[in-house]
A and B are shown apart, each in its own frame.
Chain A
Amino acid sequence: MTVPRALPAEARAVVRGDRRALAQLITRIESRDPSVAPILRALHPRTGHATVVGLTGPLGVGKSSLVNVLLAHLRSLGKTVAVVAVDPSSPFTGGSVLGDRIRLERDPGDAGVFIRSMASRGRAGGVATATREVVRLLDAAHYDVVLVETVGSGQVDIEIRDVASTSVVVLVPHLGDEVQTLKAGLFEIADVFCVNKSDLPGADAAAKDLSELAGLGAARDGWRPVVVSASARDKTGVTELWTAIEAHEAFLDAEPGRRAEADRRRIANELVELVRDRVAREAAERLQADPSHGKLLDEVAERRLDPRTAADRIYERTHGSSSRTRRR
């Protein structure tokens, strides 16, 4: 493959398949190193080719084990695969134990596989802001499929839709009665439901409940979620799971503009988030530098001021000063 000289050296290394360069760039994205911006900018036109699949679901349903069997299946089909596995950071110390690699078996000499663990670093929603940029980097590095495994946080872990073109919600038998499946959140985001641990009793009932749920409402954007049963332990249902994911991908391509529209929706969310991130960070910094901030805190704590009024004052102060500096 020819790599144009115009690309920054690090971007060229990633496109060339340099695994170390790729890993180091991921670290820089994670730590929000501003110097990665030109590299990401240069690589952006080379993205949009990978199939990005998100796996989400409550703690302990077997997401990592499913990723493991999917990985083997995809390699047997000749596809190259990158895995991004997100685990939680401690809100107290910022530390984390990233344990998803334990379940992932792979030949260490296989250049067609790249696995990266990421800590959530305090970002809510299960999928880190940085995840999108990391996924794009892996896309630019020519991986055919990127599997994103989210923090197993449960009901609100729905940001994965903003990252993946197909979202798989992984569940197990006996997670609750069928009313659980009517609740908002996790059950709304699935393109594919996977009932894992189907070797356990109750799996058929769980799959049946989900199928009923999928059949109840109007299909979202014309797609009715597919329900598959699998057992990562017995390695059954993996072909069916991949077939269901591919069916959703084919659906996105079946009508002109469908995939593009889904893309635009994700990008719209991302842009809002990027701006919000930056505004929030700058506001927090200005607040810390502002000596009157402590006084405001005292006033609220002593019940002389209510939080909303205090927030309004902070907003006016930070917002006002920022627009003044811009105009100058």
Chain B
Amino acid sequence: MAEPRAPTPIRVLIAKPGLDGHDRGAKVVARALRDAGMEVIYAGLRQTPEEIVESAIEEDVDLIGLSCLSGAHMALFPRVLKLLKTRKVRDVPVFAGGIIPDDDAKRLRRIGIKAVFGPGTTLEEIVRTARGIARHRT
């Protein structure tokens, strides 16, 4: 007889690549996703792209959220995407938040970042988007 399967919460990694110490936004988002019933692996400040990708693999997450307020997003976010590709992680979407100029946001979306959130985005919108883009387990 098949045992009933427990519903699996969405697992999401929230990490801050780069050297700035402004983690309030990342924490607020982590908490909102938690309250939406997700399991949030909070990796915290000053994560290298290599660390982020390794954490994503070990934690088998369905979604990665990156936050950066140092201005280095155009160096760091594409590096995370590239490493994910190198490690053959193709099905885990990435979203981003921080102080990101519109032109940069466009370019980030073009290279594969699924959503870019700037200041003033509501938590409802972030939660809704996260649910929509997270990898769905079959």
Contacts and interface: CB of A to CB of B under 8 A. Distances in A.
Given A34-B2, A101-B42, A108-B51, A93 B34 contact: yes
Interface string B35-59: 1111111111100101101110111
B101 interface: no
A95 B60 contact: no
Contacts of B33: 95
A contacts with B: majority SS = mixed
A20 interface: yes
A108 B50 contact: yes
Contacts of B2: 34
B9 interface: yes
A119 B39 contact: yes
Given A31-B6, A32-B3, A94 B57 contact: no
Contact of B3 (A93, A108, A278): A278
Nearest to A102: B44
B contacts with A: majority SS = mixed
Contacts of B34: 90, 93, 95-97
Interface string A10-47: 00000000011001101100111110000000000000
A217 B74 CA distance: 63
Interface stretch (A68-76, A110-118, A248-256, A291-299): A110-118
A19 B8 contact: no
B9 A101 contact: no
Nearest to A33: B5
B42 A23 contact: no
A99 B38 CA distance: 14
Interface in B5-33: 5-9, 11, 30-31, 33
Given A20-B57, A34-B3, A114-B58, A96 B50 contact: no
A320 interface: no
B43 A102 contact: yes
A121 interface: yes
Contacts of A24: 60
Given A98-B41, A101-B43, A108-B53, A27 B36 contact: no
A281 B5 CA distance: 10
B4 interface: yes
Interface of B: 2-9, 11, 30-31, 33-45, 48, 50-51, 53-55, 57-60, 87-89, 137
Nearest first, the 7 A-B pairs at minimum CB distance are A108-B54, A102-B44, A95-B34, A31-B8, A23-B60, A108-B50, A95-B37
17 contacts: A20-B88, A20-B89, A31-B5, A32-B3, A93-B36, A94-B9, A95-B40, A96-B40, A97-B30, A98-B41, A108-B48, A108-B50, A108-B51, A115-B55, A278-B3, A281-B3, A285-B4
